[in-house]
Structure 1
Amino acid sequence: MKTAIKLACAFGALVLSSELADAETRIGVTMTSFNNPFLTILMNGMRDQAAQMKDVSLQMEDANLDVSRQINQVQNFIASGVDAIIVNAIDGEMSPTITKMVHSAGIPLIYVNHPPADLESLPEKAVFVGSNELDSGTMETQAVCKLMGGKGKAFVMMGPLENIAARVRTDDIHNVLKSDACKGITVIDEKVANWSRGEAVDLMNNWMTSGQTFDAVIANNDEMAIGAIQAMKAAGMDMKKVVVAGIDATPDGLSAMKAGDLDVTVFQNASKQGAVSVESAAKLAKGEKVDSKLWVPFELVTPENMEKYARK
C-alpha cells in the first residue's frame, strides 16, 4: 500500500513537473490605441512572434489614449498573475508610476516603441525596446532640407506633447534647422495633431485658410503627413510644389510616396519592435538576462529606395 502511494505521489510529481514545463508564459500587453496603422503593425509583430514561440500567450488590451485606463490595465495584469507585462505607453511621464507598480510585484516589464520617462533609471527586469528618436526626426529633416535647397518656409505637425517620441522628433527638426546648411528654412507654425490623419486634415485646412505661404510640411508621423496631403489635394494644390515628410514608412505612407505626394519618410521597424518585445518578455519571465535598451535602427526612405520597404 505504501509502495503504491509512493508511486502515485511520484507519478503526480512527474505530471505536475511536465505541466509546469509545458505551461504557457502569459504576457499582458497594454497598447496606446488599437486604432492606429503603425501600432497595428507593432501588434502583428507581437502576435507573429508569440505564435512562433508556441509556449507564449498574449492578452492584449486597448487603452484607447486614456492614461487612467492604461494604469488600470497594468493593475489588472498584476492581479491576474501574468508572467510579464508589455507597455506601449500613452504618456511617458506616467511611466515611473507603472514601473514602480510592476517592479514591486516582481514582474518583468517591457516598454515598447514609446520611450518611458525613466528610461535611464529602469530597474532590474525592466527594458525598453524601440528606435532611437534622435535619429528619426534628424534623418527626416536633413532630407527635407536637401530637397528645399536649405531655404523656405515650413509647417510642423506634432504628435501629443506628453509623448516623448513626439517631443524628441520635434526637437530633432529644430536642431537640424539650426545647422549652417539648413538655417535658411523657417518654421512658420507648429501645432499638435495627435498622430491623427483626421486632426491633420483640420490643422492643414486652418493653415491654408490663414493665407500663409509655405514650401513644406514636416510631420512627426506618416498619418499626419497623409492628412496634410489630403487637405492640400482637396484644396487643389500642386503637390510637386510642396515637400511633405513623415515618419514610420507605413503601408499608407509608402502608397502616398508611390503616388508622388509624400517625399520623405523614415522606416521604423514596428514588426521587429513587436517581435523583440515579446521575445524579451519571455526571456525575462524565465529568469534570463536582457539588455535594458534594445535598439531597432531607423532607416531613411525616399522615392528612390521605397520599393525595398514596400516588401517589408
Structure 2
Amino acid sequence: MKKITLSLASTALAASLFSGAVFAKELKIGVSMALFDDNFLTALRNGIQNAASQEGVDVQIEDAKNEVGTQLNQIQNFIASGVDAIIVNPVDTDATVSMSDDADAAGIPLIYVNRQPINVDMLPNNQAFVASNEVDSGTFQTREVCRLLGGKGKVVVMMGELSNQAAIQRTKDIHDVIATPECSGIEVVAEQTAEWSRIKGNDLMTNWLAAGIEFDAVISNNDEMAIGAIQALKAAGRAMNSVIVAGIDATPDALQAMKSGDLDVTVFQSAVGQGEGSVKAAVQLAKGDEVEQKVWVPFELVTPTNLKDYMK
C-alpha cells in the first residue's frame, strides 16, 4: 500500500512538473517592433528572439514599418489572438496611452522596450518599461565632446524623430551639459532632425555644408545619423581629424568607424540586455509575478581608449 501511495505521489508530482513545463512552452508573446530596417532595432529584435528561446516561450515578432496605425493594429491582433503578454517598441511614444489602455482592458501584460512611453509614470500594475536611462546617454556623449573641445567651439546637433522620447531627452541632455560652466563656451549653430536615418543624416550634413555652416563637432542622437554625417563630410573633402563626431548606440558599424578614426564618441546601449529584460519581464508578468515597472540597463561611454572592450 505504501508503494502505491508513493507511486501516486510521484505521479502527481511529475504531472505537476510536466504541467509547468507545458505552460512555459505554450506561453506566447506578441512583439511589435517599430521598424525592422534599423541596425540597433535589429540587434534588439535578435536579443528578444534569443531570450525567448532560452526561456522556452514562443514569440511572434511583427514589423510596424514605422507606422503608428500599423502598430496599433498589431497590438489589437495580439489581444484578439489571446497572447499571454505583449512587448512593444513604440513607433510614436505619444500613442502609448492607447496601447496601455487596450492591453489593460484585455488583462494582458504589456512591456515597453527601448523607447519610453509617454505614460511611463502611470502604467497599470501589469505593465513595465525596459530600457537604458536616456538622461545618461546624451550626457555621457556631450561631456566627452566638451572635453575634446576644451569647453569651447561650435557644434551641430542631429536629432532623431521628434515624436520619440529618446530623441527629445538626448537633445535635452546636450543642452543641459552645454549649460554647465565648464562647457558654456560651446555654441549650437544648427539643430535639425534626420529621423535616426543614415541616409537622412548624410543629406542633412550635405545641406549644412552647402549652406556654409561652420562647426567643430557633430553631436548626433544615434550612430546611424553620425555615420551619414561622416560620409557627407568625407565626400566634401573635410579632414576627419578637423571635426569631432559623436553618436549613441555603439553599433558594429559605429565601432568600425571609430576604429577607422572617423567616429570619436559613442555610447553603448545594450540591445541584447534590453531584449532579454523585456522577455523576462513579460514571462514574469504572464505568470502573475511582480516586476519593477522601470528596469534600467546601464549606458556606457565608448571612446578609442576602451574601444577594444566593445569590438568583441
Q: How does the TM-score come out when normalised to structure 2?
A: 0.93
Task: Give, in whole Å, the separation in 2 of the partners of 1:80 and 1:210.
Answer: 53
- 1:50 is displaced (CA, Å) by 1.0
Structure 1 counterpart of 2:22? 22
Letter paired with 1:35:
D
1:72-128 Cα shifts (integer Å, max 9, x gaps): 000000000000000001111110110000011000000000000000111111000
Q: Distance in 1 between matches of 2:81 and 2:72?
A: 14
After superposition, residues 1-312 of structure 1 pair within 5 angstroms as 18=18, 21-23=21-23, 24-54=26-56, 56-311=57-312
SS at match of 2:231: helix
Name the aligned partner's letter for residue 288 of structure 2: G
Could you tell me which amino acid in structure 2 is paired with residue 39 of structure 1?
Answer: L
What is the one-letter code of the residue matched to 2:149? M
Q: Deviation of residue 52 (structure 1)?
A: 1.1
**How many residues are aligned here?**
298
Secondary structure of the residue that 2:183 maps to in structure 1? coil
Amino acid corresponding to residue 41 of structure 2 in structure 1 = L
Q: Which residue of 2 aligns with 1:7?
A: none
Letter of the 1:270 counterpart: A
Partners of 2:22 and 2:270 in 1: CA distance: 31
Q: Distance in 1 between matches of 2:194 and 2:241?
A: 24
**1:18: Cα distance to partner?**
4.9
CA distance in 1, matches of 2:233, 2:123: 44
After TM superposition, give the deviation of residue 131 of structure 1 in Å: 0.5
What one-letter code is carried by the residue in structure 1 that aligns with 2:197? S
Aligned identity (percent) is 56
Amino acid at match of 1:188: V
Compute the displacement of 1:155 (Å): 0.5
Structure 1 unmatched ranges of 5 or more: 1-10
CA–CA distance in 2 between the matches of 1:97 and 1:215? Answer: 43
> CA–CA distance in 1 between the matches of 2:109 and 2:16?
24
- Distance in 2 (alpha carbons) for counterparts of 1:147 and 1:21: 55
Unaligned runs of 5+ in 2: 1-10
Q: Equivalent residue for 1:6? A: none
Q: 2: CA distance between counterparts of 1:226 and 1:144?
A: 16
Residue aligned with 1:127, SS? strand
What SS does the corresponding residue of 2:281 show, helix, strand or coil?
helix
Task: Provide the C-alpha distance between the structure 2 equivalents of 1:246 and 1:212, rounded to a whole number of angstroms.
Answer: 20
Equivalent position SS for 1:116: coil
In 2, Cα distance between the equivalents of 1:30 and 1:131? 19
> SS of 1:181's equivalent?
helix
In 2, the alpha carbon distance for the partners of 1:149 and 1:21 equals: 59
1:243 is displaced (CA, Å) by: 0.3
CA RMSD, 1 decimal: 1.5
What SS is found at the alignment partner of 2:112? strand
Cα distance between partner residues in 1 of 2:192 and 2:257: 22
- Whole-Å Cα distance in 2 between the matches of residues 221 and 46 of structure 1? 21
SS in 2 for 1:191: strand
Q: What is the distance in 1 between the residues matched to 2:108 and 2:271?
A: 24
1:3 alignment partner in structure 2:
none
Give the whole-Å Cα distance in 2 for the aligned partners of 1:295 and 1:77: 26
Runs of 4+ in 1 over 3 A off after TM superposition: 14-21
Name the TM-score, length of structure 1 as normaliser.
0.93
Measured against aligned partners, the alpha-carbon deviations of 1:186-223 in whole angstroms (never above 9, x if no partner) come to: 10010010100000000000000001211010000000
Sort the Cα spacing of 1:145 and 1:17 in 2 relative to 1 into closer, same or farther, 3 A.
closer
Q: Counterparts of 1:16 and 1:283 in 2: how far apart (Å)?
A: 19
Amino acid at match of 1:28: G
Q: Alignment partner of 2:173: what SS?
A: helix
